[in-house]
A and B are shown apart, each in its own frame.
Chain A
Amino acid sequence: MLKYGLAYGLLSSRRRAREMLLPAITIATGAFLVVIVFATSAGVRKQAAGLGHTDEIGHAIVLIAVTVLLVGVVEAAVATTRTIVGRTRELGVLGATGVRSRPVLVALLVEPFVTALVGALGGAVIAAVVGTVLGATGAAASGVSAGGTVTGALIAVAVSLVAAVVTSVVPVWRAVNRPPVKSLSSN
């Protein structure tokens, strides 16, 4: 049943691509910052050294970049609550026809998952391109690290996916476990 839930979720995600645009952009913004911070870590450390407290400031920059990524991911969860409200009757129909809650849960979590994946990958790719341009033109005086770019991209994608699912699971769980009669009678 789970694979049907997954397929149902993917199909509905395609239908709702426009609604997923804003959260994808906010996640991409956060992912971009994380990747750029890791890619230009030498420059960031140099700047941190200029401020004194090299290690502490360096840690703070990474912490704040990841926090901004999480802010972007929360928008995906807010979008999921919009999806749930818009599909309340649909969820009621699924419940009334005997579809179990687990595949519906999976179907609804596909949307924040796909949004986070697309947003994080998009942000990481843009950051890699910008990093390459900065490195080639010499705008990043301390250079752009390929290893840092890959590390930043992996962290951005992993954090986005986990955070999107974790923040979306509670509203989705509540919606899925709502009695079908309540969902069907809602206006």
Chain B
Amino acid sequence: MTAFEIVSQTKTPKQTEAALPGPGSALPTSSGGTFGRLLRFAIANIRRRPERFVLAVLGIALAIAAVTVVRTISASFAITGAGSVTNAIGTHAIWVVPAQGVTYESSAGALVSDGPPSDITLPDGWTGAEMTAGLWNSPHGQVAVYGVQGTSPGKVVASAQLAQRLGVANGGTLSLAGHAVTVSVSGDSAALTVSPSLARDVVGNVGWWVADEPTIDRGRTDLGSLFGPAVGLPSTQNPAEKPARDGKGLVYDTTTGAGAQSFAQKYASAFSGQVTDSTLGLISIIGLVLGFVIAVSSFLASVQERRREFGIMSSIGLADEVLYFFLVESGVVFVTAWLIGVLGAGVAVWAVLPHLATPVAWAQASATVAAFLPAMAIVGAIVPVHRLLQQRPVALLAD
């Protein structure tokens, strides 16, 4: 028999009836399970002090909105990062970047090299190629150009989106820095793909190497440790690691390694980490802490006002149930705040960052923020109630 069933079967004292929320207190005769009754009790209490509920929800919603905006930007970066590295190196196992590093050019939506490809010779048995990757200042803005072996001279491969941006159609002619080339629309790469010689003419000698292991080493997850020493360059599986400026380049081993994440996923994490580790991330976390302070402060005020009510409950054996009341009330506050916060963040992202964030990134961010809610709601309820539960019913009734 639950405590609520005891209450239902016990003749309620006048004092208890007065202390319970809402006129006439429908609780003792109400239908539904224990959770339904707790929910009704929480709603009755919210209706008793609606302005405090609104303010607590507003404060937490603003904090959640701030975190959601930052997480949306971060998720967008992760999606962009994974896509850009896949476009840049395809499925090659080794990526050798120059000492100057590589940069994600947001105007072009692709990775480009900041320096000439490293001066290396492929070890015996390894296959690979030098790849030109730079920026072309087209009349329609900056466009990334990749020089890929096997692409016929006089031809340029562009995605439908890029072709539309450049105002060309499949089979049409594009003037690429003075070279007239035939457009072939296919794929979804953010960069134009041309022959290596044409790419060098257009963007200069900037790029990287890609390579694949010999058949005998296929399936190994430590290819960097084989390739790096063979070409005299350091190697890593961590995409957050940058090449030394005074070095000759860095070998990225794109095999999974000891972990479960692919190189593209690790690159995406490093990319999105730039946002969460920046000023944006720091400010939003401070906002979330302030939102939590508001929740606790609001519940503390509520506990203080209802000391006599809880004294009466404790005196009839409902001491632990007080915590359940607050847990459900806290849950209602946080869920409402989350709904308002993520919707507000969606509007803010759409208004301020239309080119940066996507609905998928917003949905991912909303889900990530929702993961914080149970912990915040539980701690937000326990902190104020803990002090109350330490006291004897007579002490609560005496105030």
Report A8 CB to chain B, min CB distance, Å: 22
Chain B residue numbers with a CB within 8 Å of A26 are: 290, 293-294
A132 to B52, CA, bound (A): 39
CB of B135 within 8 Å of the partner chain = no
Chain B residue numbers with a CB within 8 Å of A57 are: 73, 280, 356
User: Which chain B residue has the least Cβ–Cβ distance from A167?
Assistant: B55
* Docked-complex contact B55 and A81, CB < 8 angstroms: yes
A167 to B58, CA, bound (A): 10
Chain A residue numbers with a CB within 8 Å of B58 are: 74, 167
Chain B residue numbers with a CB within 8 Å of A56 are: 352-353, 355-356
**8 Å CB interface, B65-90 against A:** 65-66, 69-70, 73, 77
CB of B279 within 8 Å of the partner chain = yes
A77 to B55, CA, bound (A): 7
* Docked-complex contact A47 and B279, CB < 8 angstroms: yes
Chain-B contact segment, one of A29-37, A90-98, A99-107, A146-154: A29-37
Are A75 and B274 CB-contacts (below 8 A) given A63-B69, A70-B62, A81-B49? no
A75 to B296, CA, bound (A): 10
Provide the A16-53 mask, 1 if CB < 8 A to any CB of B, else 0: 00000010001001100100010000001001001111
* Docked-complex contact B305 and A71, CB < 8 angstroms: no
* Docked-complex contact B280 and A78, CB < 8 angstroms: no
Provide the B77-120 mask, 1 if CB < 8 A to any CB of A, else 0: 10000000000000000000000000011110000000000000
A28 to B103, CA, bound (A): 38
Grouping DSSP codes into helix (H, G, I), strand (E, B) and loop, the B interface class, with mixed when no group exceeds half, is helix
A138 to B305, CA, bound (A): 51
* Docked-complex contact A64 and B287, CB < 8 angstroms: yes
B298 contact from A67, A70, A78, A170, Cβ within 8 A: A78
* Docked-complex contact A71 and B352, CB < 8 angstroms: no
* Docked-complex contact B293 and A52, CB < 8 angstroms: no
Looking at A47, A56, A170, the one whose CB has the most chain B CB atoms below 10 A away is: A56
Chain B residue numbers with a CB within 8 Å of A79 are: 297
A85 to B308, CA, bound (A): 15
B352 contact from A59, A68, A70, A187, Cβ within 8 A: A59
**8 Å CB interface, B26-59 against A:** 49, 51-52, 55-56, 58-59
* Docked-complex contact B290 and A29, CB < 8 angstroms: yes
* Docked-complex contact A78 and B274, CB < 8 angstroms: no
Looking at A56, A68, A174, the one whose CB has the most chain B CB atoms below 10 A away is: A68
A72 to B297, CA, bound (A): 12
CB of B366 within 8 Å of the partner chain = no
Report A27 CB to chain B, min CB distance, Å: 9
Are A52 and B104 CB-contacts (below 8 A) given A22-B293, A167-B55? yes
Provide the A143-187 mask, 1 if CB < 8 A to any CB of B, else 0: 000000000000000000000000100110010000000000001
CB of B332 within 8 Å of the partner chain = no
Provide the B256-280 mask, 1 if CB < 8 A to any CB of A, else 0: 0000000000000000001100111
* Docked-complex contact B301 and A51, CB < 8 angstroms: no
* Docked-complex contact A170 and B51, CB < 8 angstroms: yes
CB of B284 within 8 Å of the partner chain = yes
A33 to B305, CA, bound (A): 34
User: Which chain B residue has the least Cβ–Cβ distance from A65?
Assistant: B283
Looking at A56, A72, A78, A171, the one whose CB has the most chain B CB atoms below 10 A away is: A78
CB of A139 within 8 Å of the partner chain = no
Chain A residue numbers with a CB within 8 Å of B250 are: none
A134 to B287, CA, bound (A): 23
Chain B residue numbers with a CB within 8 Å of A61 are: 279-280, 283
CB of B183 within 8 Å of the partner chain = no
A71 to B51, CA, bound (A): 16
Chain B residue numbers with a CB within 8 Å of A29 are: 286, 290
A33 to B280, CA, bound (A): 11
CB of B291 within 8 Å of the partner chain = yes
Using CB atoms and an 8 Å cutoff, list the residues of chain B in contact with chain A. 49, 51-52, 55-56, 58-59, 62-63, 65-66, 69-70, 73, 77, 104-107, 274-275, 278-280, 283-284, 286-287, 290-291, 293-294, 297-298, 301, 304-305, 308, 348, 352-353, 355-356
**23 CB-based A-B contacts, threshold 8 Å:** A47-B278, A51-B278, A56-B353, A57-B73, A57-B280, A61-B280, A63-B348, A64-B66, A64-B287, A68-B62, A68-B66, A68-B286, A71-B66, A71-B290, A75-B290, A75-B293, A75-B297, A77-B55, A78-B52, A78-B294, A82-B304, A85-B301, A170-B51
Nearest 5 CB-CB pairs, A to B? A52-B106, A74-B59, A68-B287, A171-B51, A71-B290
